Chain A
Amino acid sequence: MEVVYNVKYKFKTKDNITKDEFKKVFNLKLLNVIMNLENQELL
């Protein structure tokens, strides 16, 4: 039985955020992930 999922996003950003502003925030978050995982890869 196949279920179809309707996926919606919700952001805590201000309503009038520009694409560039969002890109900056997103890449900063991504950098945190990269640095963390690279460091773990201590293993």
Chain B
Amino acid sequence: MIEKVGVYCRLSDEDRDKINKNDDSDSIVNQRSMCLKYANQNGWNVVDIYSDDDFSGAGTYRPDFERLIKDCESGKINLVLCKSQSRFSRDMEVIERYLHNKFIEWGVRFVSIVDNADTSIESNKKSRQINGLINEWYLDDLSTNIKKSLKNKREDGLFMGSFAPYGYDRSEEDYHKLVVDPVAAEVVKTIFKMYADGNGYYKICEYLNNNNIPPRSVYKRQKGSKFVCSNCDYKTVRWNPDTIAQMLKNEVYIGNLVQGKITSMGYKVHKFKKVDEKDWCRIENAHEPIIDMETWNKVQKILGTHQKPIKTGEIHYLTRKVYCSECSKVFMRNVYHVKGEETGKRAYLQCKGAKKYHTCDNNKAIRMDELEKIIIDAINDLLDNYYDKNNLQELYNKRKEQYTNNYETIKILEKEKHNLDKKIEDNKVFYRNLYEDKVKGTITEDMFCMMSADYLREIETMTKRIETIDNEIKSLEIVKEERKQADEILKKYKHIDKLNRVIVDEFIDKVYVGCYNKETKTRDIEIEWNIEF
């Protein structure tokens, strides 16, 4: 029988690390020359050479390995020649499936030079199986060691992700350390502040998109990152509510590194599973925070209470503030159509236990405007008794100095503008080169149109963003100039006429509404003030 030989070579990172740097005996070139020499000595005819560089011996997802198997099945080759059995596979299951089953069925012989495996010699089978077992153990140990090494690095507070989270960059001095990216950090701060001020996810997205702030994936690519988002189109991608929700819960922004949330199912299975939260690796103060703890806690409190925005996209300032004094459940907001009302609608609050679960007797709703008036009166009551102009004036002057210092913000915006200007210049150069290629005939008109459209679109987006930045810088400078006299401002707050989120959040912790007493026509209201001492 004429031997039709297929030479198979493979090299992976695990082998590269193992060998001495000066010893390239395992390299693809050397494997190939060793096999060709061996085939020549035996007078065999080499039909094809198959080589997989940078592929692990654990699986069968190797392009040339798959081609080799197809050629074996089709009869193109009837002898597989490798330097060693581990080159063919380190997986015991694969060795059994092919060497001792399929190859016999297809009439294919397997020979490996170094470990003398030869399927044409019956007595050789046990040593082949032992080789297979040792190779499998090697992989098993390697997988355990890699996992252990990654775990140790995470516990040392090293960032082990592929890409730095939005708002951070990898440090140039230490690849595993995160440093604040001042441009993106400003966006992160805006997102947290807007949410803390009562804006919902959609409202925040709308603001970011209208101000031409590039979404995370686009921003990463603009910075030259190889980041690939498999399910988004970079031409149309915009900020979306899921992204905002994810960012607001991410502890990385308060300086904590939380890693090891997923783990591989095993070295043979290229799938991942979630890790229990108690087993996550959490390192506090691993890097510089972007968000201060006060803002973070405020945001987590709102997230924890599942506050929902009303139709304007904002979260109502009395959401999760009003509770039933009978069953302690929250009061829900409902809007009814009412004749005679200016807007045709009137908002009420009612105990959730009574309205939804029918487990509470406090079923009478309270008008929103009446409750608001009660709260306004209560705040004015405190203002009448405790407003101290001199004390306020002193505190105000101290604080004003901090507030008017917009220098840092302006500096960050100017840096972003400078980067965008540079990027636009680069794109213009690319565009010019592309045009020259079209004139020379190197690329077709269609290709030119397609490729130039991307450059022009990017230039347009970045130009819009620069306009926005210019306006922001201008307004920050106006803020510095437009400070009114303290006296006038402080006088304004001696009495309040209406509520808003800032006032409610600062002064009111909870409001408890009792049952309506039909006989006395009275109802108890208890205001829990957010004033601690």
Instruction: Give the contacts of A1-27 with B (CB-CB under 8 A).
Output: 1-14, 17, 19, 21-27
Distance to closest chain B CB from A26 (angstroms): 4
How far, in whole Å, are A13 and B532 apart by their CA atoms in the complex? 5
How far, in whole Å, are A17 and B531 apart by their CA atoms in the complex? 12
* Contact residues in A for B383 (Cβ distance below 8 Å): 30
Q: Total interface residues on A, using CB and 8 Å?
A: 37
Nearest A residue to B475, CB-CB: A42
How far, in whole Å, are A27 and B403 apart by their CA atoms in the complex? 18
* Contact residues in B for A5 (Cβ distance below 8 Å): 370, 374, 522-525
Residue B451 lies at the interface, judged by CB distance under 8 Å to chain A = no
Question: Do A14 and B489 have beta carbons less than 8 Å apart?
Answer: no
Say whether, besides A31-B399, A39-B403, A3 and B521 are in contact (CB < 8 Å): yes
Partner of B387, one of A8, A24, A27, A35: A27
Q: Total interface residues on B, using CB and 8 Å?
A: 41
Question: Do B502 and A37 have beta carbons less than 8 Å apart?
Answer: yes
How far, in whole Å, are A35 and B268 apart by their CA atoms in the complex? 60
The count of A-to-B residue pairs whose CB atoms sit within 8 angstroms is 112
Instruction: Give the contacts of B367-414 with A (CB-CB under 8 A).
Output: 370, 374, 377-378, 382-383, 386-388, 391-392, 395-396, 399, 403
* Contact residues in A for B396 (Cβ distance below 8 Å): 31, 34-35
Distance to closest chain B CB from A11 (angstroms): 5
How far, in whole Å, are A39 and B502 apart by their CA atoms in the complex? 11
Question: Do B490 and A34 have beta carbons less than 8 Å apart?
Answer: yes
* Contact residues in A for B399 (Cβ distance below 8 Å): 31, 35
Question: Do B525 and A6 have beta carbons less than 8 Å apart?
Answer: yes
Say whether, besides A33-B502, A40-B502, A12 and B531 are in contact (CB < 8 Å): yes
> 9 pairs across A/B with beta carbons < 8 Å?
A4-B521, A4-B522, A10-B528, A13-B533, A24-B391, A30-B387, A31-B399, A34-B493, A35-B396
- Not counting A6-B522, A14-B533, A23-B386, a sample of 9 additional A-B residue pairs whose C-beta atoms are within 8 angstroms of each other reads A3-B516, A3-B522, A4-B521, A5-B374, A5-B525, A8-B525, A13-B532, A19-B386, A34-B493
